[in-house]
Structure 1
Amino acid sequence: MRFIWLFASLVVLASAATIKDTGKLRFDNHSVYKLKISNKLQLAIVNKLCSLSEKYDIWKDYEEYSKEVHVMVNPAELNRFQILLKLAGISNEVLIPNVQKLIDDEQVPSGRDSSTFGWTRYYELDEIEAWLDSIFAAYPSVTEEFTVGQSYEGRRIRGIKISHGTNKRGIFIESNIHAREWITSASATYFINELLTSQDTEVRNLAESYDWYIVPVFNVDGFEYSHTKNRMWRKTRQPHATNSCIGVDGNRNFDSHWLENNGASSNPCSETFAGDVAFSEPEAKALSEYLISIQDKFDVYLSFHSYGQWLLSPYGHSAEELPENYDDLQEIGTAFVDAIQNMVYGTTYVRGSTATTLYVASGSSVDWVFNELDKKVAYTIEYRDTGRYGFVLPPAQIKPNCEELMTGMIALIKKTNELGYIV
């Protein structure tokens, strides 16, 4: 009887209205809850709730490691949400009482950090592109621009190649495939700057020993939309042919075990919608074609994400099988994790395969590169934090996060090289 009541409540919630695309969406009194899931029925209730109503937004899917779900709740639904939690016996904790307060705090006052590009605030797409132009102008002998392709809305997906000399093996970095994960493009631009300007011996060795291919903002349409309309936007911006919901999760759209094992959604309104077919999104299709065109030039693939403090290796599509080189991937991962934890910040990362450590996620860029291009060192890096700020990481944490990336990257590439994966 209780389950019937719960399901009836969820059906009522499904009538929530679609948010109109007018002005800049605010998240006043939207709260983020951490839900502790203890059985399959509880998980089914939460998943059904979030799939039926746009007034709920899953920030972190259920993960086996912590058995948690993080969900943002519209204040209009808070009473019903709390009743459902009580009836279902779901233990919960408020992580963020007011998301809009974090968004407001994220904004740097006018005039601050305006003269030069730095890492004390977040930048919009046009500012990042202007900075890239200045980098190409300042370092013409070691930088080269490349274009991955065009987005649905016609924006160019730009990348930078950093190369000192010839016959160097390559490392490819893709960043900001999920629009709201702003710390990823901030980390990518910092990393580019360090490769070009740092005088640290280990960084110089990292910069000059390999060719670096870096795409600071991959989901350019979604990223622009997250700045101008909806800070919490995740997906691409291509409309659906038969549904009013817009966009696809670009990191579920690659043609590698696409839409398998409940690792993505077939619902166009879901945040993990995989698209109607693999490579339905021009961005994902363009990246696959570009990577194929340079597949003999790179050995390592990294995808920047937030949040959770994870280093995730394949497979994402299955928790029942592991890659043949799983032990090596974990050894490389341990080097990354240990290097970061030994820093002054003491930040703890967890490493493991995506499906066994976090959750099943099919059709990802990392799995596609690993499986289809046979690049056997490929990771998703999920940056700070573990939920206190979530996607709205304060600007004060940009620089520490970037410093951790550099330290971890030095260790990761060193161990990768020692194990013979860079040839």
Structure 2
Amino acid sequence: MAFQGELASTVGCWYPGRLDMKRNSSTVGNATGRGALLLALLVLVACGVTLGDGAELARYDNYRLYQVTPRSEEQFRTIAALEETSDSLIFTETARKVGEPFTVIVAPHKLADFTETLESDLIPYRLVEANVQHSFDEERSRIMSKRTRGVFDWTDYQPLEEIHGWLDRLASEHQEVQLLDAGRSYQNRTLKGVKLSYGAGRPAIFLEGGIHAREWISPATVTYILNELITSEEPQVRAIAERYDWYVFPNANPDGYEYTFRVNRLWRKTRKPYGLACYGADPNRNWDFHWAEQGTSSNPCSDTFAGPNAFSEIETKSLAAFVKTLRGKLRAYIAFHSYSQLLLFPYGHTGAHSPNHQDLNEIANATVLSLAQRYGTRYTYGNVYDAIYPASGSSVDWSYGVEDVKIAYTYELRPGPNAFNGFVLPPKQIIPTGEETLDSLITLLEESAERGYLAA
């Protein structure tokens, strides 16, 4: 899932090397000092890129979407090398294992090199979409046409200001809802959430959404669940709503989310600048639990850049500080991502099983069976390291390993793996995704409670 910097992710331009954050160097490629600065500025000018969030709308005209299936370990290594080093390939999924297909978006000027590499290594591939910009244009046009209605619902994806406004209204209209402010983002946006409580002394559940900016179905699902917890009259929903204190943060990466609406639909990270042309760290690789050990990058232009140090991002540092205030009462931490239809639990930094692995596995099994009941949506489940890929420094691993929250799960929501629409999930799937996810969350909490994990 590697963007190689602001340039590559905006217009597919070549970027000369990277900044070495670990050594605090000003080296860019093989140039240093003033020469490096001049070279990088020339590239920026040539590519027509505006630095920072004043950038014009990123377009992906004639970028192609391919499905690739490595059939051997050698082919797999070739793909992994491309993911780490290419400046104009967007891996919407990380290659996980031999024989498993994944999707990649290729810039027009890289098509010949990309296909030549695959063909020379006899790696099977097929074209899925000839111009990914069409999907983004349709999505943007649809959302802009609806913004004048002034109605918050789940018929389409909502911008950050609409989500925050809705949270404000919830607090003013429902006495059981309290606004929460966990701090400010790098660009001074509020890390806004709410507490839903029907009485004192209840064990706490934490819902985290939107930590990866481009995964729009995540905040949509979290807000759907929150709305149901407040308004639903279904007995099972009322039971979990009133049995626990709910701490809900739909947008844990507000700068990144806003950026996906205004500039670059496929942006993933935060928006803190690193060096001249790289922006953001992966906020789900930045938590201080086995930070930067597995499945991360030290390249600040990479999508999986873990940051120069743990909690380098004010968003993760602030959210962690808030979670620490719940110490002693927090019983479950649930994060929502997309995509691939997975239910994951610790650990991500190692294949070694967590102390309560068996319970987490059994709870996950019951949860995905429950999720499939309504629409037949099939999830798989497992510990992060084995079920998807090594990934250290995540919020869920941190809550489990540092805060001792023994019910810690990550949902990778619709669509399923290898879906061509990936992060651009059609809005008609928002409500079904919310419904089935809430069904499964009820089961997850019931199964956890039966095993004694959610006691006050």
TM-score w.r.t. length of structure 2: 0.85
Structure 1 stretch displaced more, 12-21 or 269-278:
12-21
Task: Tell me which moved more, 394-403 or 88-97.
Answer: 88-97
Cα pair distance change 1:394/1:113, threshold 3 Å: farther
| Superposition map of 1:122-137 within 5 A | 122-137=157-172
Tell me how far 1:150 sits from its aligned partner. Answer: 1.1
* Partners of 2:204 and 2:244 within 8 A in 1: yes
Q: 1:125 to 1:111 in 2, by over 3 A?
A: closer
Distance 1:236 1:287 in 2: 14
Q: Does 1:56 align with 2:70?
A: no
- The equivalent residue for 1:285 is 317
Structure 1 position 32, deviation (Å) = 2.3
Q: Tell me what 1:142 maps to.
A: 176
Residue 433 of structure 2 aligns with which residue? Answer: 401
- Helix, strand or coil at the partner of 2:92: strand
SS in 1 for 2:81: helix
Structure 1 range deviating more: 31-40 or 214-223: 31-40
Inter-partner Cα distance in structure 1 for 2:408 and 2:80: 29
Q: Distance in 2 between matches of 1:401 and 1:285?
A: 30
Q: Secondary structure at the match of 1:167?
A: coil
Q: Is the 8 A contact 1:14 1:52 kept in 2?
A: no
1:243, 1:268 within 8 Å by CA — same for their partners in 2?
Answer: no
CA positional deviation for 1:113: 8.1
Whole-Å Cα distance in 1 between the matches of residues 430 and 314 of structure 2? 30
Aligned counterparts, 1:378-417, within 5 A: 378-386=408-416, 387-417=419-449
**1:45 aligns with one of 78, 83, 89:** 78
1:217 matched to which residue of 2? 251
Q: 1:332 aligns with which of 343, 363, 367?
A: 363
Cα distance, 1:399–1:65 mapped onto 2, change above 3 Å: farther
Residues 392, 251 of structure 1: CA spacing in aligned structure 2 closer, same or farther, 3 A cutoff? same
**Residues 340, 413 of structure 2: 8 Å contact kept:** yes
Q: Work out whether 1:152 is the aligned partner of 2:186.
A: yes
- 1:9 match: none
Of 120, 141, 158 in structure 2, the residue corresponding to residue 87 of structure 1 is 120
Residues in 2 aligned to 1:211 and 1:301: alpha-carbon distance in whole angstroms: 12
Aligned to 1:253: 286
1:340-359 map, 5 Å:
340-343=371-374, 345-359=375-389
Corresponding residue SS for 1:126: helix
Partner of 1:239: 273
Structure 2 residue runs without a partner (length 5+): 1-12, 18-42
Give the residue type in structure 1 aligned to 2:311.
Answer: F
Q: Could you report, residue by residue, the CA deviation over 1:156-210 in whole angstroms, capped at 9, with x for unpaired residues?
A: 1011100011111010011100000011011111111101111111111111111
Cα drift, residue 79 of structure 1: 2.1
Distance 1:299-1:42 versus aligned 2 partners, 3 A rule:
same
Specify whether residues 113 and 77 from structure 1 end up closer, same or farther in structure 2 by C-alpha distance, changes over 3 A only. same
**Equivalent position of 1:184 in the other structure:** 218
Is 2:393 the partner of 1:363? yes
> Once superposed, what is the RMSD of the aligned Cα atoms?
1.9
Does structure 1 retain, via aligned residues, the 8 Å contact 2:70–2:98? Answer: no
Consecutive unaligned residues of structure 1, counting only runs of 5 or more, are: 1-11
* Structure 2 SS opposite 1:23: coil
Q: Deviations over 1:204-245 (max 9, x none)?
A: 1111111100001010010111110100000000011x4521
Detail structure 1 runs of 4+ shifted over 4 Å in the superposition.
Answer: 12-19
Cα deviation 1:130-153 (Å, max 9, x = unaligned):
1111111110x2011111111111
- Displacement of 1:105 in angstroms is 2.8
Tell me the distance in 2 between the aligned counterparts of 1:77 and 1:284.
35
Q: Report the Cα offset of residue 90 of structure 1.
A: 1.3
Change (3 A) 1:175 1:105: same
Deviations 1:89-129 (CA, angstroms, capped at 9, x unpaired): 21123344332222223242625882421101111111111
Matched, 1:197 2:231: yes
2:103 counterpart of 1:73: no
Aligned residues: 407
Shift of 1:292: 1.0
Please, what TM-score do these two structures have when normalized by structure 1? 0.92
